[in-house]
Amino acid sequence: MERKFLGGLASSGKKEKMYYSTYAGGAWKITLASDGENLCGLWNGDHKHVYKNMEKRDDLPIFEKTKKWLDRYYAGEKPNLNELPLAPAGGEFRQTVWKILCEIPYGQVITYGDIAGIVAKKMNKTKMSAQAVGGAVGHNPISIIIPCHRVVGSNGSLTGYGGGIKTKIKLLEHEGVEMSRFFIPVKGTAL
């Protein structure tokens, strides 16, 4: 089933009031961001992409719903991301990539190159840059729920996670991914 993101934040261009709450479950503290109705951001303390000037609001229903989703995820369940109203802000290309991320099954991985092939087909192009896809994956504002941690390099490299390689490994191990075929790169821009 194709994931339908809400388009308001992605396309309106107007500044929305943003709120945040924190979640202490799992292995690290997580910050949640919302426009008041939709989940717009989710990152751990080390994540690179953070909204500025947010107001703390722990009482929003979307935060309660997201925290329950995360509780279930960390308890080993496989909650459906369609249970949450998601509104990641980004242009058409990024939205396309994020929708593909949502189709990666729990406990499985896909390569940047594979995603590039899917995007090229959707856009009626002969090919697409895996690096461009990597940029879109790296700017996913709703990590874990939009599972960017499930994307790996074609050679088995675990590069490219905004929350850090250690976090990516913990999430993949939590989902039962066989890790013996993967490695941490010793150099690169996405470490």
pLDDT, position 28: 77
Q: 8 near 17, Cβ under 8 Å?
A: no
Is residue 34 pLDDT above 90, yes or no?
Answer: yes
Residue 23 to residue 35: CA distance in whole angstroms: 17
> Tell me: domain 8-83, CATH 3.40.50.970, correct?
no
Provide the β-strand partners of residue 151.
Answer: 110
Q: Name the E strands within 50-150.
A: 55-56, 110-111
Active site residue 40: no
Residue 25: pLDDT band by 50, 70, 90 thresholds?
confident
Which of 10-24, 32-46, 97-111 has the highest average model confidence (pLDDT)?
Answer: 97-111
Tell how far CA 173 is from the center of its chain.
17
How, if at all, do strands 30-34 and 19-23 pair? Answer: antiparallel
- Give domain limits for the chain: 8-83, 92-174
Answer yes or no: pTM beyond 0.85: yes
Q: What is the pLDDT of residues 96-112, one digit of tens each?
A: 999 999 999 999 999 99
Residue 10 to residue 132: CA distance in whole angstroms: 19
Residue 32 to residue 19: CA distance in whole angstroms: 8
> Tell me: domain 92-174, CATH 1.10.10.10, correct?
yes
Q: What is the DSSP secondary structure assignment for residue 183, as one 8-state letter?
A: B
Question: Which three-class secondary structure state does DSSP give residue 105?
Answer: coil
Q: What is the pLDDT of residues 121-159, one digit of tens each?
A: 999 999 999 999 999 999 999 999 999 999 999 999 998
Q: Which of 82, 94, 85, 90 is nearest to 12 (CA)?
A: 90
Catalytic, out of 101, 148, 171, 172: 148
